[in-house]
Structures are given as structure tokens and as C-alpha cells.
């Protein structure tokens, strides 16, 4: 009993300390872009927030595949919808690099908040059954220590109050860098690169797949193909950035 009481006290103290540090960060932090005091999020002030180079979701009805230039540049894909926050431009490219290579995790919560806000405006939320994230191969995960897609997907799902399974997908095939490869080469390299740890339930018909960046769509497409073999009917890919076709 004593142990339980101590454990409860410790947990309460930890949450109070976390809340205290969160207030401190909000009070003393600076906007990443201009140095002014941030309001809604510790990383960015409202003026810079309004000036971010976001896609106009209303024009494309929350789906970049409705944009002919994007649709043409992504042939042979197996996902049905594409929801991205921004082209691969500043400040998103810098933030993505900081998250991926410098472990700046607070960037992931900003991405999740921005994605959730924009997603809610598309009114697609009600039809989603499950959120998944693109996994890293174990060797890459061990090297980096974390999966940036998971760090974005988890708070994104929490804000939308949708179920998330962070470890449902596994990357079983280690690939070399895909930079410079053609779409066909990428697809060949990615064939059978992913598996599901356990089958999804029959109720899962619409999956949202989260990643940091979408370039050729090969990775997301390979996972979508796998999911559709297991009974999933619709896959929506959600990423922070889209590398627009040249």
C-alpha cells in the first residue's frame, strides 16, 4: 500500500513539475522566427504563424491529389488521399532537419498541432478508423534513437481523439538511400519492405498514414498496398511537407 501511495505521489509530482516547466517555457521562450514572445505555441508567435507557407486546403478540398500537377507527379500510387501542411520550404525544411538530425522534439508537437488544426478544417475526421506512422528499420531507429514520424503521429492522433497504433507496422527490409533513384527503382527496393505485427481488425476501413515528408510517394504507396491486402479500403497519407515536382 505504501508503495502504491508513494508511486501515486511521485506521478502527481512529475505532472506538476512538467506543467510548471511548460508554463516557464511559454513565459520565457521566443518565437523561432522573429524572437517575439510566442502565444499559442512555445515555438512561434501569432504573426509568424499566420505567415507560414501552408497549402490552401480549401482550394484542394483537403486533398493534394486534387491538384493536377501533384497528381501527375505521383503515378502508380496506392493511397487515396494526400494531406500535407506545406511545400518543402523554410521554415519547415529547417524544422524537419532539426527534428530528424538534432532531436529537437518540440518541433514535432508544433507540426502535430498545425496538422490537426488544418485537418479539422477539412472535415475528414469522422471517417478515420486508425492512424499509423511510417516505421524506420530497427537499425536506423537504433542509430537515431527515435522515429520522427511517430513523434508527429502520436500528438496528432491525440488532438483529433483518433486511435493510434505506433508499433503496428514494421520495416523489415533495410534500404539504401533513395536519393537519385527513379520511381521504378524505389518501388523495386521497397517491395515487401513492410509488414504488420498483427492483422488489423475488420472494422478498420480507413487508415491515416503519417510521415514527415512525401517525395515520390513510394514508401507510403508500398504501405498502402500492404494495408489494402488486409482489408483496408482507403488510405490517406498525412505529411508535414511535400517536395513539389520540379
Stretch in the footprint of Zn ion (CB under 5 A) among 27-35, 63-71, 159-167, 236-244: 27-35
Q: Is position 49 an interface residue for Zn ion (rule: CB under 5 A)? A: no
Comparing CB distances to Zn ion, the nearer of 71 and 93 is 93
* Strands of the 206-214 sheet, one edge to the other: 81-87, 234-242, 206-214, 130-133
CB contact set of 67 (below 8 Å; sequence gap of 6+): 60
Catalogue the E-assigned strands of 12-94. 81-87
Comparing CB distances to Zn ion, the nearer of 32 and 63 is 32
Q: Is position 34 an interface residue for Zn ion (rule: CB under 5 A)? A: yes
* Element spanning 68, H or E: helix 68-73
Size of the site for Zn ion (CB under 5 A): 6
- 45, 128, 134, 190: which one contacts Zn ion (CB under 5 A)? 45
Q: Is position 52 an interface residue for Zn ion (rule: CB under 5 A)? A: no
CA–CA separation, 41 and 49 (whole Å): 9
Q: How far is the CB of 42 from Zn ion (least distance, A)?
A: 12
The answer to whether the CB of 193 falls within 8 A of the CB of 169 is no
Stretch in the footprint of Zn ion (CB under 5 A) among 3-11, 29-37, 123-131, 198-206: 29-37
- Counting other chains too, the contacts that 138-146 makes at CB distance below 8 Å and 24 or more residues apart are 138/171, 139/174, 140/174, 144/100, 145/103, 146/103, 146/105
Q: Which of 242, 246, 243 is nearest to 57 (CA)?
A: 242
The count of residues in the chain is 246
Comparing CB distances to Zn ion, the nearer of 7 and 36 is 36
Q: Which residue has the cell 500500500?
A: 1
CA dist 117 → 15, 110, 144 (Å): 26, 11, 29
Q: How far is the CB of 51 from Zn ion (least distance, A)?
A: 8
Q: Alpha-carbon torsion 53, 54, 60, 66, what sign? A: positive
Stretch in the footprint of Zn ion (CB under 5 A) among 20-28, 34-42, 101-109, 118-126: 34-42
Q: How far is the CB of 242 from Zn ion (least distance, A)?
A: 24
Comparing CB distances to Zn ion, the nearer of 48 and 244 is 48
Q: How far is the CB of 46 from Zn ion (least distance, A)?
A: 8
Comparing CB distances to Zn ion, the nearer of 33 and 213 is 33
CA–CA separation, 237 and 8 (whole Å): 40
Stretch in the footprint of Zn ion (CB under 5 A) among 6-14, 45-53, 58-66, 124-132: 45-53
Q: Is position 33 an interface residue for Zn ion (rule: CB under 5 A)? A: yes
Q: How far is the CB of 91 from Zn ion (least distance, A)?
A: 10
- 29, 30, 48, 52: which one contacts Zn ion (CB under 5 A)? 48
- Site of interaction with Zn ion (CB under 5 A): 31, 33-34, 36, 45, 48
Amino acid at each position: 500500500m505504501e508503495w502504491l501511495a508513494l508511486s501515486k505521489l511521485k506521478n502527481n509530482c512529475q505532472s506538476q513539475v512538467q506543467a510548471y516547466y511548460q508554463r516557464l517555457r511559454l513565459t520565457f521562450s521566443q518565437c523561432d522566427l522573429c524572437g517575439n514572445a510566442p502565444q499559442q505555441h512555445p515555438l512561434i508567435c501569432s504573426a509568424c504563424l499566420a505567415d507560414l507557407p501552408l497549402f490552401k486546403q480549401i482550394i484542394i478540398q483537403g486533398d493534394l491529389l486534387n491538384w493536377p500537377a501533384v497528381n501527375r507527379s505521383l503515378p502508380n500510387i496506392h493511397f487515396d488521399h494526400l494531406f500535407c501542411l506545406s511545400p518543402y520550404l523554410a521554415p519547415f525544411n529547417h524544422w524537419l532537419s532539426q527534428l530528424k538530425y538534432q532531436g529537437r522534439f518540440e518541433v514535432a508537437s508544433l507540426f502535430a498541432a498545425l496538422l490537426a488544426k488544418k485537418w479539422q478544417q477539412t472535415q475528414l475526421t469522422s471517417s478515420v478508423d486508425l492512424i499509423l506512422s511510417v516505421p524506420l528499420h530497427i537499425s536506423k531507429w537504433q542509430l537515431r534513437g527515435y522515429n520522427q514520424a511517430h513523434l508527429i503521429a502520436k500528438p496528432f492522433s491525440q488532438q483529433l481523439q483518433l486511435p493510434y497504433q505506433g508499433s503496428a507496422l514494421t520495416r523489415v527490409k533495410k534500404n539504401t538511400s533513395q536519393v537519385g533513384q527513379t520511381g521504378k527503382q524505389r518501388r523495386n527496393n521497397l517491395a515487401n519492405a513492410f509488414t504488420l505485427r498483427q492483422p488489423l481488425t475488420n472494422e478498420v476501413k480507413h487508415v491515416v498514414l503519417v510521415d514527415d515528408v512525401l517525395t515520390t510517394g513510394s514508401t507510403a504507396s508500398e504501405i498502402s498496398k500492404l494495408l489494402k491486402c488486409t482489408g483496408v479500403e482507403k488510405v490517406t497519407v498525412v505529411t508535414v511537407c511535400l517536395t513539389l515536382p520540379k
